[in-house]
Structure 1
Amino acid sequence: MSTNYPNVFQSIRIRGVDFKNRIEMAPPSPNRADKDGRVCREFVDWFRPMAKGGAATIHVGNSVIDSSESSDEERQLDMGNDGAILPLSTFVEMCESYGCQASLEINHCGRDTNPSRIGRPAISASSMVTPMENMRAAMEGREPIPTEEMSHEKIKETVDKYAMAAYRCKKAGMKISMIHGGHGNLISQFASRLYNKRTDEYGGSLENRARFCIEVLDAVREKVGENFVIEFRISADEIHPDGMHFEETLQFIDIIKDKIDILHVSAGLHGDFAYFRNWWQNAMMDRMYNVHYAEKIKKRFPDLLVATVGSIMSIKDAEEIIATGKADFVAMCRPLIADPDMPRKYALGQEEDHRPCIRCQYCGMRLTKPRVIGCAVNPYSANIDAYPDGKVPLAEQKKKVAVIGGGPGGIQAAITLRERGHDVTLYEKGNRLGGNVIGAAAPSFKIDMKDYLDYLVLQANKSGATILLNTEATKELLDQENFDAMVVAVGADPFVPKVNGVDKPHVHWAPDADVGLVEVGNKSVIVGGGAIGIETAIGLKEEGKEVEIVEMAPDFNHLAQNSSGTMQDLLEKIDTLKIPVHLNCRLMEVKDDEVICVDTKSQEQISLPADTVLLAAGMVPRHAMVDDLRQSVPATEVYIVGDAVDVATIAEAVNGAFKAAAQI
């Protein structure tokens, strides 16, 4: 059968191991192992859709060689003893049933181990107090605990642990494993001058700093034999000014290249948040972010098989990378979580049904709570225990269901209800579907959100639901239809501060400016410095307009800490564009050509010229509307979802709507 993607779907054999295509699942840590760090049924079920969906290889992230001394996540796999082998074999055999190679990312996090988890100091190439440990100590109200420098005896013991972890993978039936040598984990703690301050044969020159890695790779090969593929993960550049940079990494690759089969090229560091973003890119960052490193490595070492990773969002992108010789394999994680079936859809010519990742970082942020991994746009991900096949069952009784609101929650509800066989009518008072995603997708730099909006609208129209645009649902209208159940996804209204002049005709909701629903003058003041306000400000400034932001908070720390990089990038763009931001600033009055604010610290009054005022100070759930509409069906058959419950994110809207629709 012909395909539009002949290169990415081309098979390859390495050491006699067959890889059916060039698509890898980059290693996620799903928090799905059991309490002893073993594979369990829910672990296998979570990965099943990716194996079924067509990936050639699935790598499981951060699988530690000994959890008694390397532990930095909840429920991560522990390969520290033979008890891991039998449970792991169930994962391997599941993958095999779909022609997929199962693999573990074998790791020791070294300095980033939490001392509170293991009851003693973390070990590393050298003794140090890490940024992450300083943060943990502050949160726990204790003194930071320095790492312990590894003795020669400890080094030998740890090398053997890497080898035994790989051997246990082979005993479980695996034919490939990934050794983690990047992101500031233990191997790179030896390799990088940033962490390695030793003066013995493991420190100093690059050859010495590479010694630990060489010993690990040699020990692994000796243990697993020749018919086993070793993939090695590396940070092409640690980005940190004092870290390992690309030119030195090329020298390091030259030292180890004959000891590995595939070089997996990433970038950045795990334990230093400022450099976290380079391996876990947010929606503000370029797609295919690290591919240029892989391309340069491939040119320098043409005989080395190279895998690339980092915001490669589709099989179309992957095809271009492979076809142009930039890499031999393409690894994706979040895009396959968002749509495990993506490879199959592209292979079968169903590209338009590919559910796009929006790089919102919801998946990883859940792990820190802690929660099992989930996805903002794929509600099956966090609910795979209830729906192990990634499908909702048909309803026992077909019902007539109203969905009120055409945003992401309402659309997800309609799609899921139709999959269950219900008769669905979706009411949307506006003239198009998408809800708040329309405004979120409007800025030119929001390409991920634009793709998601297109997907939502297409899938809604393909769902078979009756969609009524320009139709406001009222209690009287709903009563006439005699619905059996209802999903209320009416969203929220903009928060409007109670100040004089806020009702003037040049005062608007900021996203309405983004989508061109309102006329914006040449001098705008945006009230509210959250993501919505900043995105609007950036868009207006890039159009050549003057814009200023007023924000009541003293700084942006509360926003930056919860955005996993996105807010930092937005703030950097604000600085680059030189958009004035007035912190500690409260709006007091809107006049025809200016706004009056007060500095909440000095109480000084501030006047800012403005021919347009754009509100972005938050939203308020439409509780009154909800309470009116919910009377039209029996009380037990009403489900309130999304911002209508509590203003949150796309993730809460989609996942809440899915769970509601799955119960009707």
Structure 2
Amino acid sequence: MSTNYPHVFQSIRIRGVDFKNRIEMAPPSPNRADRDGRVCQEFVDWFRPLAQGGTGIIHVGNSVIDSEESSDEERQLDVGSDGCILPLSQFVEMCESYGCHASLEINHCGKDSDPAKIGRPAISASSIITTAEMMRAKMNNRDPIPTIEMSHAKIKETVEKYAMAAYRCKKAGMKITMIHGGHGNLISQFASRLFNKRTDEYGGSLENRARFCIEVLDAVREKVGENFVIEFRISADEINPDGMHFEETLQFIELIKDKIDILHVSAGLHEFDYMRYWWQNSMMDRMYNVHFAEDVKKKFPDLLVCTVGSIMSIKQAEEIISTGKADFVAMCRPLIADPEMPRKYALGKEDDHRPCIRCQYCGLRLILPRVIGCAVNPLCANTSEYPDARVPKASIKKRVAVIGGGPAGIQALMTLCERGHDVTLYEMSDKLGGNVITAAAPEFKIDMKDYLAYLLRQANKAPARILLNTEATKEILDSENYEALIIAVGAKPLVPKLPGITKPHVHWAPDAEMGIVEVGDKTVIVGAGAVGIECAIGLKRAGKDVVVVEMASDLSNLMMTSSGTMQDLLECVDDLKIPIHLNCKLEEVTDTAVLCLNTETDEKIEFPADSVLLAIGMCPRHDVVDNLRHSAPETEVFVVGDDVEVGTIFEAVNFAFKAAAHI
């Protein structure tokens, strides 16, 4: 059988090791190891769908060589002692059963180790105070703790730890491992002038700064032998003005290229201002860092190169490899969103591919901390309960009604149908999608547009009765005598009771983005959350005069609730010179202006406006819920999504899935 993606699915042998395709799972940190940092059944279950789905290599992120001096996450893998080998072999053999190679991203985070976790100051190439430590010190009301510059004895000891970690991977049955030399981890702390202030043979010139990396690679090769593949991760450019830039990185690659088998080309640092270059959000271009890999490949044509960064589909991977930009393509979030993506594309089922929306929720959960989850793939956070990424058929088939055709309602419909129930969905408007329709309205929301299209395709394929333009009243539901009910009617825009708020030129901001209402040339947007800012950007790009007013004194809380995209939204606001007025409480709308009160000075402020757009939040439809929740046996009625509490797509999709999985 021929494939539409021959380059992606072309096998390759490296050092006698056979790789069935060119797809790598870029290294996630799923927070699924046990308390001792060992592989456990929960860990294996989480990775099983990825191996089963057709990925060629699975790398496990941030697997530390010594947790007593390198720890910056909860429940991360520790390969610092031989006790890891036996449990690690379970992960290896699970992957092998699907023709997939298991690999660890071996790492020492150096300066980024949390002193509270390791009980001592962090070690690094030099003694510095990191931005992360300054933040920790501020939060805990203490002085920041500088890192300890590594002695020659400590350097030698650490080199040996890298080698032993790789050797333990081989002992567990692995045939490949990745060594992390990028993103400001320990190896790059030696390589980059940004962190390396040494004056000995490990500092100064590039050759000196590369010495630690070369010693690590040599020690690893000596320990693992010739029949083992070494992949090396690098930041092509650290982006920081004082960091390592691409031209110097090319010189660095020249020094190490003969010691590695695959070069994994990323970018950026762990520092907040630079992490988005390896963890791109939905405001950023797709295939963001591919140009770096392409230039590396041109410079070193004989070196096998892997590229990573917002590569969203197998189709994009095929374009990259077929044009010679890279030899391998690594994805993380797109495979978390749909572990079966490789298989779906190989079987010609591309339309069933569940797209990643780059909302950053998976990573934000690790910061909380929580086990890793996904906004659009509810099975991700529930792999122990559903280890084969499948919900079981229901023991009793029931007639179930789903009220609402937004993301929660559609997910409920899909899961109920998968379980074999007889499903009817009621949607009062003329189309499915709910608030995803408005979320996908801005022209730059390409990921959300793809997700909306996916939801509509899957809903239309489902063996369910879908009734559009139909309001589910209590009378209708009572007459149908449903055995179970999922209420997912969503939320409605919050409209304050203020003078002039019902004037004809006052609208909900997304209605303007979708072209439902006309907007004048001078618009005031009330609310500086993601909805308001996205609308302001779209209108400004369309040539409108836009002003944003916000009651809060700063945007810090809004930034924490915007799925990681607010920083880039605000940078776009700065570029477009859109004014945001803080401490502005809306008090009245007139025919020609918006009147606000400055909550700091008690001063009245007037903003001219021929259009006023509200983006001050949403409120649950509690009245609808309360009217419908007794139209089936009360123990069989589930309220999900924004009906419970206004939240994100994660809450809508994941809670709807759980309700449907338990009916």
TM-score of the pair, normalised by structure 2: 0.99
Q: CA deviation at 1:136?
A: 1.0
The answer to whether the 8 A contact 1:277-1:565 is kept is: no
Distance 1:157 1:320, change over 3 A: same
Who is 2:515 aligned against? Answer: 516
1:30 matched to 2:6? The reply is: no
Where do 1:581-596 residues align within 5 Å?
Answer: 581-596=580-595
Alpha-carbon distance between aligned partners in 1 of 2:277 and 2:310, rounded to the nearest angstrom: 10
Secondary structure at 2:358's aligned position in 1? coil
Alpha-carbon distance between aligned partners in 2 of 1:409 and 1:138, rounded to the nearest angstrom: 39
Where do 1:181-260 residues align within 5 Å?
Answer: 181-260=181-260
Secondary structure at 2:613's aligned position in 1? strand
Secondary structure at 2:630's aligned position in 1? helix
Alpha-carbon distance between aligned partners in 2 of 1:561 and 1:414, rounded to the nearest angstrom: 31
Who is 1:486 aligned against? Answer: 485
Q: CA deviation at 1:90?
A: 0.5
Alpha-carbon distance between aligned partners in 2 of 1:359 and 1:166, rounded to the nearest angstrom: 32
Aligned-partner residue type, residue 613 of structure 2: L
Secondary structure at 1:30's aligned position in 2? coil
Aligned-partner residue type, residue 351 of structure 2: E
Deviation per CA, 1:17-56, whole angstroms, max 9, x where unpaired? Answer: 0111100000000000000000011101100111111111
Q: CA deviation at 1:563?
A: 3.8
Aligned-partner residue type, residue 85 of structure 2: I
Alpha-carbon distance between aligned partners in 2 of 1:380 and 1:261, rounded to the nearest angstrom: 34
Deviation per CA, 1:198-244, whole angstroms, max 9, x where unpaired? Answer: 11100000000000000000000000000000000000000001100
In structure 2, runs of 5+ residues without a counterpart are none
Q: How much identity, in percent, do the aligned residues show?
A: 78
The answer to whether the 8 A contact 2:529-2:562 is kept is: no
Who is 1:6 aligned against? Answer: 6
Who is 2:455 aligned against? Answer: 456
Aligned-partner residue type, residue 53 of structure 1: G
1:128 matched to 2:128? The reply is: yes
Who is 2:162 aligned against? Answer: 162
Bigger shift: residues 443-452 or 556-565:
556-565
Q: CA deviation at 1:601?
A: 1.3
The answer to whether the 8 A contact 2:587-2:595 is kept is: yes
The answer to whether the 8 A contact 1:484-1:637 is kept is: yes
Where do 1:497-516 residues align within 5 Å?
Answer: 497-516=496-515
Q: CA deviation at 1:555?
A: 1.7
Q: CA deviation at 1:619?
A: 0.8
Who is 1:112 aligned against? Answer: 112
Secondary structure at 2:470's aligned position in 1? coil
Where do 1:439-478 residues align within 5 Å?
Answer: 439-478=438-477
Q: CA deviation at 1:561?
A: 3.6
Q: CA deviation at 1:520?
A: 1.7
Q: CA deviation at 1:564?
A: 5.7
Q: CA deviation at 1:78?
A: 0.3
Alpha-carbon distance between aligned partners in 2 of 1:202 and 1:575, rounded to the nearest angstrom: 41
Secondary structure at 1:199's aligned position in 2? coil
1:389 matched to 2:349? The reply is: no
Deviation per CA, 1:296-329, whole angstroms, max 9, x where unpaired? Answer: 0000000000000000000000000001000000
Who is 2:314 aligned against? Answer: 315
Q: CA deviation at 1:369?
A: 1.3
Q: CA deviation at 1:654?
A: 0.2
Aligned-partner residue type, residue 118 of structure 1: I
Deviation per CA, 1:234-293, whole angstroms, max 9, x where unpaired? Answer: 0000000110000000000000000000000000001x1000100000000000000000
Secondary structure at 1:99's aligned position in 2? coil
Who is 1:341 aligned against? Answer: 340
Alpha-carbon distance between aligned partners in 1 of 2:264 and 2:323, rounded to the nearest angstrom: 18
Who is 1:552 aligned against? Answer: 551
Who is 1:535 aligned against? Answer: 534
Alpha-carbon distance between aligned partners in 2 of 1:594 and 1:122, rounded to the nearest angstrom: 56
Secondary structure at 2:485's aligned position in 1? strand
Alpha-carbon distance between aligned partners in 2 of 1:564 and 1:535, rounded to the nearest angstrom: 13
The answer to whether the 8 A contact 2:359-2:564 is kept is: no
RMSD between aligned alpha carbons? 0.8
Could you list the structure 1 runs, at least 4 aligned residues long, displaced by more than 4 angstroms after superposition. none
The answer to whether the 8 A contact 1:53-1:341 is kept is: yes
Alpha-carbon distance between aligned partners in 1 of 2:32 and 2:590, rounded to the nearest angstrom: 56
Q: CA deviation at 1:562?
A: 4.2
Who is 2:414 aligned against? Answer: 415
Aligned-partner residue type, residue 367 of structure 2: T
Who is 2:654 aligned against? Answer: 655
Alpha-carbon distance between aligned partners in 1 of 2:144 and 2:463, rounded to the nearest angstrom: 58
Aligned-partner residue type, residue 401 of structure 2: A
Alpha-carbon distance between aligned partners in 1 of 2:516 and 2:558, rounded to the nearest angstrom: 28
Alpha-carbon distance between aligned partners in 2 of 1:545 and 1:122, rounded to the nearest angstrom: 51
Aligned residues: 663
In structure 1, runs of 5+ residues without a counterpart are none
The answer to whether the 8 A contact 1:487-1:639 is kept is: yes
Aligned-partner residue type, residue 198 of structure 1: R
Alpha-carbon distance between aligned partners in 1 of 2:87 and 2:557, rounded to the nearest angstrom: 42
Alpha-carbon distance between aligned partners in 2 of 1:71 and 1:174, rounded to the nearest angstrom: 23
Alpha-carbon distance between aligned partners in 2 of 1:293 and 1:207, rounded to the nearest angstrom: 22
Bigger shift: residues 220-229 or 471-480:
471-480
Q: CA deviation at 1:565?
A: 3.9
Alpha-carbon distance between aligned partners in 1 of 2:638 and 2:617, rounded to the nearest angstrom: 24
Deviation per CA, 1:70-108, whole angstroms, max 9, x where unpaired? Answer: 000001000000000000000000110111111000000
Aligned-partner residue type, residue 236 of structure 2: A
Alpha-carbon distance between aligned partners in 2 of 1:565 and 1:45, rounded to the nearest angstrom: 28
Secondary structure at 1:274's aligned position in 2? coil
Secondary structure at 2:164's aligned position in 1? helix
Deviation per CA, 1:454-487, whole angstroms, max 9, x where unpaired? Answer: 0001101111111111111111111111011111
Deviation per CA, 1:356-394, whole angstroms, max 9, x where unpaired? Answer: 000000001001111110000000000111111101001
Alpha-carbon distance between aligned partners in 1 of 2:141 and 2:383, rounded to the nearest angstrom: 37
Deviation per CA, 1:325-345, whole angstroms, max 9, x where unpaired? Answer: 000000000000000000000
Secondary structure at 2:277's aligned position in 1? coil
Aligned-partner residue type, residue 397 of structure 2: K
Who is 1:137 aligned against? Answer: 137
The answer to whether the 8 A contact 2:8-2:318 is kept is: yes
